[in-house]
Amino acid sequence: MRIDIESLRVFMAVVEEGSIATASRALHLVASAASKRISDLEKDAGSALFYRHSRGVLPTPAGDALYGHARQIFEQFRQIDTLLSEYSGGIRGHVRLSVTYTAMVHYLPDDLRRFTSEHPELKIELVEKPSDVVVRMVENGVVDFGICAMPDPSLRLTCLPYRVDRLFLVVPVGHPYASRESIGFEETLDHDYVGMQEGASIHTLCTRAAEAANRRLKLRIQVTNFEAVRNMVAAGLGIGVLPEVGIPAHERSRLVSVPLAEPWSDRHLNIVCRELENMPAPARMMVEQLTQSNTPKQLLQS
Q: Is the pLDDT of residue 292 over 90?
A: no
DSSP label of 265 = G
Contact 226, 100 (CB under 8 A): no
Of 63 and 302, the structure prediction assigns the larger pLDDT to: 63
CA distance 284 to 267: 24
CA distance 60 to 270: 46
Structure confidence by residue, pLDDT tens digits, 107-166: 999 999 999 999 888 889 999 998 889 998 998 888 999 999 865 666 778 999 999 989
| Listed range (129-133, 167-171, 180-184, 221-225) with the worst mean pLDDT | 129-133
In terms of DSSP bridges, do strands 56-59 and 255-259 run parallel, antiparallel, or are they unpaired?
Answer: unpaired
Segment 20-32 mean pLDDT? 93
Segment 216-225 mean pLDDT? 95
In terms of DSSP bridges, do strands 158-172 and 145-149 run parallel, antiparallel, or are they unpaired?
Answer: unpaired
Query: For the chain, what is the mean pLDDT?
Result: 89
CA distance 275 to 73: 27
CA distance 41 to 49: 8
Q: Give whole-number Cα distances, 4 to 7, 35, 41, 63, 273, in Å.
A: 6, 15, 9, 16, 36
CA distance 147 to 256: 28
The SS3 call for residue 123 is strand
Of 147 and 45, the structure prediction assigns the larger pLDDT to: 147
pLDDT of residue 86: 58
Q: How confident is the model at residue 298 (pLDDT cuts 50, 70, 90)?
A: very low
Structure confidence by residue, pLDDT tens digits, 81-93: 766 665 655 447 8
pTM above 0.75, yes or no: no
DSSP label of 249 = G
Which domains are delineated in the chain?
A: 5-88 (1.10.10.10), 93-160+277-296 (3.40.190.10), 163-266 (3.40.190.10)
**Angle subtended at Cα 22 by Cα 16 and Cα 27, rounded to the nearest 5 degrees:** 80
CA distance 218 to 28: 62
Q: How confident is the model at residue 9 (pLDDT cuts 50, 70, 90)?
A: very high
Contact 302, 268 (CB under 8 A): yes
Structure confidence by residue, pLDDT tens digits, 223-240: 999 999 999 999 999 999
Number of separate helices (H) and strands (E) present in the chain: 11, 11
CA distance 268 to 149: 6
Q: Is the pLDDT of residue 216 over 80?
A: yes
Segment 241-267 mean pLDDT? 94
Q: Is the pLDDT of residue 299 over 80?
A: no
DSSP label of 226 = H
Of 63 and 296, the structure prediction assigns the larger pLDDT to: 63
**Angle subtended at Cα 96 by Cα 291 and Cα 114, rounded to the nearest 5 degrees:** 45
pLDDT of residue 246: 92
